[in-house]
Structure 1
Amino acid sequence: MNFVTPTGRDTNTFDARIDGGSYGYAKSQFSAGGARGPYDWFFNGSVQREDGFRDHSNGHLERGSGNFGYRFSPDAETRFYVNANTWRQRLPGELSKTVALNTPRAADPEFVRQDQQRNIDSMRVANKTTLRFGPTTVDLGVFTHQRHVDHPIYRYLDYYVSDYGGFARTTDDRLIGGFRNRLIAGVNLQAGVIDYKEYANPGNAVKGELLTSALQKSQNHSVYAENSLFVLPNVALIAGGQFLHAVRNQEDRILSNGDQSGRRTYDIFNPKVGALWDVDPTWQVFANISRSAEAPTFDANTFNSPVSSNVNAQTATTYEIGTRGRRPDLTWDIALYRAELRNELQCLRSSPFSLCSVVNADRTVHQGVEAGLGVAFIKSAFAQEDRFWFNLAYTYNDFFFDGDARWGNNRLPGVPPHTIRAEVIYKHPNGFYAGPNVEWMPQAFFADNANSLTIDPYALLNFRIGHDAGGPGWSGYLEARNLFDTHYISSTITADIATPASALFNPGYGRTIYGGLRYRM
Structure 2
Amino acid sequence: MDRVVISAAKATPAQQAESRLDEIAGAASVVDNAEIEQGRAATLADVLAFQPGVIAQSAGGTDAIKISIRGSGANASPGYFREGVKFLFDGLALTGPGGTPYELLDMAGVNYTEVLRGANAFDYTALSLGGAINMVTHTGYTAPGNYARFEIGSFGWRKQQLSTGGVEGNADYYISLSNSERDGYQDYSFTKAKGVVGNFGYRFSPKLDTRLIVRYREEYHEDPGELTLDEFKHNSSQANATSVAQRDDSKKNGSIWVGSKTTYTFDDDSQLELGLVYHNYRQILGSKSPSTPNHWQWRDINTSLRYLRFDQLFGHQSNTTFSFSNSIHDRAEVQTYDGISKALLKDTNYSGSFDTVFALGNELELVEGLWLSSGLSAVNIRRDVDVDFSDRPNTTQFPQHYKYDNWSLAPRLGLRYDLTPHFQIFGNVSRSIDPPSAWSISPSGPSNNFIKPLVEQKANTVEVGLRGSQGIFSGSLALYRSWVQNELLTVELVPASGLTPARTATSNASSTIHQGIEAGLDTQVWQGTRGDSLLLRQMYTLNDFYYRHDNEFHANELPGLPKHMYQAELKYQNPNGFYAGVDVQVASKAAVDYANSFYAPSYTVWGAKLGYEHPTQRWQVFLDLKNLTDKDYVTAISPLYNSRGQDAAGLYPGDGFGAFTGVSFHF
Residue 264 of structure 1: aligned partner = 404
**Equivalences for 1:66-215 in 2 at 5 Å?**
66-120=198-252, 121-134=254-267, 135-152=269-286, 155-192=292-329, 193-202=331-340, 208-215=342-349
Residue 13 of structure 2: aligned partner = none
Query: Which one has more relative contact order, counting CA pairs under 8 Å at least 6 apart?
Result: 2
Residue 624 of structure 2: aligned partner = 479
Q: Tell me the CA shift for residue 292 of structure 1.
A: 0.5
- Give yes or no for the alignment of 1:320 onto 2:460: no
- Contact 1:386–1:428 (CA<8 Å) still a contact in 2? yes
Residue 243 of structure 1: aligned partner = 378
- Contact 1:316–1:339 (CA<8 Å) still a contact in 2? yes
Q: Tell me the CA shift for residue 500 of structure 1.
A: 3.1
State the distance in 2 between where 1:141 and 1:234 align: 33
Q: Tell me the CA shift for residue 271 of structure 1.
A: 0.4
Q: Tell me the CA shift for residue 445 of structure 1.
A: 2.0
Aligned partner of 1:220 among 332, 355, 361: 355
**Residue aligned with 2:660, SS:** strand
**Equivalences for 1:349-368 in 2 at 5 Å?**
349-353=492-496, 354-368=502-516
State the distance in 2 between where 1:511 and 1:255 align: 47
Residue 50 of structure 2: aligned partner = none
Higher gyration radius (CA):
1
1:505–1:360 CA distance, 2 compared to 1 (3 A): same
State the distance in 2 between where 1:12 and 1:467 align: 21
1:76–1:327 CA distance, 2 compared to 1 (3 A): farther
Q: Tell me the CA shift for residue 328 of structure 1.
A: 6.5
- Deviation string 1:381-428 (CA, Å, 9 cap, x unpaired) is xx5222122110111111111111211111111121111111222111
State the distance in 1 between where 2:207 and 2:635 align: 49
Q: Tell me the CA shift for residue 127 of structure 1.
A: 1.2
- Give yes or no for the alignment of 1:24 onto 2:156: yes
Residue 82 of structure 2: aligned partner = none
- Deviation string 1:200-222 (CA, Å, 9 cap, x unpaired) is 235xxxx7321111221211111
**Residue aligned with 2:230, SS:** helix
- Contact 2:442–2:450 (CA<8 Å) still a contact in 1? no
Give the letter aligned to residue 456 of structure 1: P
My pick for the range that moved more, 466-475 or 33-42, is 466-475
Give the letter aligned to residue 146 of structure 1: N
**Residue aligned with 1:254, SS:** strand
Residue 75 of structure 2: aligned partner = none
- Give yes or no for the alignment of 1:448 onto 2:593: yes
- Contact 2:347–2:390 (CA<8 Å) still a contact in 1? no
Residue identity (%): 27
**Residue aligned with 2:242, SS:** helix
State the distance in 2 between where 1:407 and 1:467 align: 53
Residue 344 of structure 1: aligned partner = 487
1:308–1:278 CA distance, 2 compared to 1 (3 A): farther
Give the letter aligned to residue 512 of structure 1: G
Q: Tell me the CA shift for residue 263 of structure 1.
A: 1.4
- Give yes or no for the alignment of 1:493 onto 2:630: no
- Contact 1:197–1:213 (CA<8 Å) still a contact in 2? yes
Give the letter aligned to residue 318 of structure 2: N
- Contact 2:358–2:377 (CA<8 Å) still a contact in 1? yes
- Contact 2:345–2:390 (CA<8 Å) still a contact in 1? no
Residue 611 of structure 2: aligned partner = 466
Aligned partner of 1:419 among 562, 565, 589: 565
My pick for the range that moved more, 467-476 or 401-410, is 467-476
- Deviation string 1:91-149 (CA, Å, 9 cap, x unpaired) is 00111111022211111122112211111120011211100011111001111100111
1:331–1:307 CA distance, 2 compared to 1 (3 A): farther
- Contact 2:208–2:263 (CA<8 Å) still a contact in 1? yes
Residue 194 of structure 2: aligned partner = 62
Residue 78 of structure 2: aligned partner = none
State the distance in 2 between where 1:254 and 1:279 align: 63
Return the TM-score normalized by structure 1: 0.95
- Contact 1:471–1:520 (CA<8 Å) still a contact in 2? no
1:280–1:64 CA distance, 2 compared to 1 (3 A): farther
Judging by fraction of residues, say which structure has more helix: 2
Q: Tell me the CA shift for residue 306 of structure 1.
A: 10
Number of equivalenced pairs: 514
Give the letter aligned to residue 309 of structure 1: K
Aligned partner of 1:406 among 538, 548, 552: 552
Q: Tell me the CA shift for residue 255 of structure 1.
A: 5.2
State the distance in 2 between where 1:160 and 1:263 align: 20
My pick for the range that moved more, 226-235 or 250-259, is 250-259
- Contact 1:362–1:404 (CA<8 Å) still a contact in 2? yes
Aligned partner of 1:232 among 361, 367, 389: 367
My pick for the range that moved more, 354-363 or 20-29, is 354-363
1:385–1:290 CA distance, 2 compared to 1 (3 A): same
**Residue aligned with 2:567, SS:** strand
Residue 512 of structure 1: aligned partner = 658
1:15–1:461 CA distance, 2 compared to 1 (3 A): same
Q: Tell me the CA shift for residue 489 of structure 1.
A: 1.0
Give the letter aligned to residue 199 of structure 1: Y
My pick for the range that moved more, 316-325 or 273-282, is 273-282
- Contact 1:180–1:233 (CA<8 Å) still a contact in 2? no
1:327–1:9 CA distance, 2 compared to 1 (3 A): farther
Return the TM-score normalized by structure 2: 0.74
Q: Tell me the CA shift for residue 319 of structure 1.
A: 0.9
Which stretches in structure 1 are left out of the alignment for 5+ residues?
none
- Contact 2:346–2:390 (CA<8 Å) still a contact in 1? no
State the distance in 1 between where 2:495 and 2:660 align: 34
- Deviation string 1:16-64 (CA, Å, 9 cap, x unpaired) is 2111100100011122211111111111221110001011100101121
- Contact 2:576–2:615 (CA<8 Å) still a contact in 1? no
**Residue aligned with 1:356, SS:** strand
Give the letter aligned to residue 6 of structure 1: H
Q: Tell me the CA shift for residue 280 of structure 1.
A: 4.2
Aligned partner of 2:474 among 319, 331, 334: 331
- Deviation string 1:217-272 (CA, Å, 9 cap, x unpaired) is 21111100110101123221011011111111122221552363211223211100
**Residue aligned with 1:34, SS:** strand
- Give yes or no for the alignment of 1:52 onto 2:52: no
Aligned partner of 1:285 among 410, 425, 436: 425
State the distance in 2 between where 1:452 and 1:178 align: 61
Which stretches in structure 2 are left out of the alignment for 5+ residues?
1-131, 497-501
State the distance in 2 between where 1:119 and 1:155 align: 14
Q: Tell me the CA shift for residue 433 of structure 1.
A: 1.3
